[in-house]
Chains A and B, each alone.
Chain A
Amino acid sequence: MNTDWSILWGEAGWSILTGLNFTLKLAICSLILAVSIGFAMGTLRWIGWRWAEPICWFFVEFSRNTPPVVQILFWYFSASYILPQPLFIALRDFGYEMGAAVIALSIYHGAFFSEVVRAGLNAIPRGQLEAARALGLGLGQALRRVLYPQALRILVPPLVNEATSLVKNTSLAMAIGVTELTYQYRSIDNFLFRGLEALTAVTVIYFILCLLMAGIGNLVQARLSRHIHARSATVAAGSGLS
């Protein structure tokens, strides 16, 4: 077979870049929403209010156990029955494909994030919360100043894993016609018959995106735990055990 890599510097290259633009927008919007859902839901489940527990359990289990593509299709085709009409009309004028993909991906990954957050909070000894409450901090203050900072340190690697899988799952939005990277590859294959070149380019872009996420995760992790290393080094030096 003959390949012509120069097409990537022409129109095809531009359409891949616009695809990247949409992929990034989709990823960032759903990442912000998913992390918020995750923290809210995870904290709610960790607190364990009796009336909230079954609802949260059902939400998390239902969205974790169903395929993201079907969720995207569900939100795309049946949103007009579920969403309040003014919201739906606003989203429709804006271009509803993107909205459906963002809603579905943030709910799907929000469920995973909430499990991660709950596990992180559970890993902190209960005494920390009790001590914070005993010092007169409210529940919100105790969470913000005592529990989250400690939990985040443990949470960064799983959170980054989840975020990477969210970025990968944005490729599913092509099922409803969001013009992101994978969609652009399909259209280049259909109109220019240069599938292999476009597919290679798109694969490399996804690969670089995922590696970047992992790199950022490592940086954040190092930054969050730098004073721990410093402290343990001083403790070790002071005790003469180093």
Chain B
Amino acid sequence: MSNWERVWTLANWQRLLFGDLFTRGQLGGIALTLTIGLLAILGSTLIGAIVGLMRNSPRRSLNVPAMIYVQAFRNVPLLILVFWAYFVPPALGFQISKFMSVLIALTLFTGAYIAEIVHGGIKSVAPANIEAGRALGLAGYQIHTKIVLPQAFFNMLPALAGRYVVSIKNTSLAFLIGLTDLTEIGKQIGARLMTAPLEVYLTLLIIYFVVNRAISALVRLLEDRKRFNRLFLRI
């Protein structure tokens, strides 16, 4: 029996896909990786949109806190943030699950990057658009929601796709605080077999590769102007 056959058994694939969901009721594997990744993507896009808009506002009371947030979370490794979220709350007296601490750290970290993308995206819309909107008599919020943001969002798509892929990759840090995500399951399989590390880790790399390519392909579907307009602008 070759090493590949030893690694690619049905039981191993089941664990890689769902972790110990059916034996111990714990979600794990690709399912957990995708859950954390997608929740973090949603949360960080929300935070990034809010903070990015705050950074663009002329009021100092809004743009200074936004800048501090971005600088504070972009200049520290994600692993350190995960440790802050996991080891510090218990010392201060409240409990936090592993899942929540990874999710919070990843969301805040990615949120800072997305805020910068949003900030740049809004700046990339030519100022003549805003003047035209004002000349047509639109209110400030109308100019933002109808003119600036749709164009900015379209310009941001490639950068956003890159960031989403990075945040899926970053979920692999969850194994360092003992969550059974895809990487941890792979490590366990490797430790149990002992003789086939090359095959096990190549399998992990291939799985991550396929998942991430799929996500960037999905976002790339939106980069078609017609499809984008139909979905988001109803034109």
Contact = CB atoms under 8 A, between A and B. Distances in A.
Contacts of B64: none
Interface string B54-74: 000000000000000000101
B79 A171 contact: yes
B16 to A, nearest CB: 13
Contacts of A211: 75
Interface residues of B, number: 38
B39 interface: no
Contacts of B172: 67, 69-70
A242 interface: no
Interface residues of A, number: 38
A116 to B, nearest CB: 12
B13 interface: no
Interface stretch (B123-131, B149-157, B198-206, B221-229): B198-206
B25 to A, nearest CB: 26
Contacts, number: 105
Given A67-B170, A199-B83, A77 B78 contact: no
Contact of B209 (A62, A78, A174, A196): A62
A199 B80 CA distance: 8
Q: Is the interface of B mostly helix, strand, loop or mixed?
A: helix
A171 B78 CA distance: 9
Contacts of A169: 77
Contacts of A206: 75-77, 80
A196 B213 contact: no
A66 B212 contact: yes
B92 interface: yes
Interface in B154-184: 165, 169-173, 175-176, 183
A74 B212 CA distance: 18
Contacts of A61: 209, 213
Contacts of B4: none
B75 A207 contact: yes
Nearest to B208: A66
Contacts of A67: 169-172, 183, 208
B77 A65 contact: no
A68 interface: yes
A91 B50 CA distance: 48
B100 interface: no
Contacts of B208: 65-67, 70
Given A1-B93, A195-B87, A66 B77 contact: no
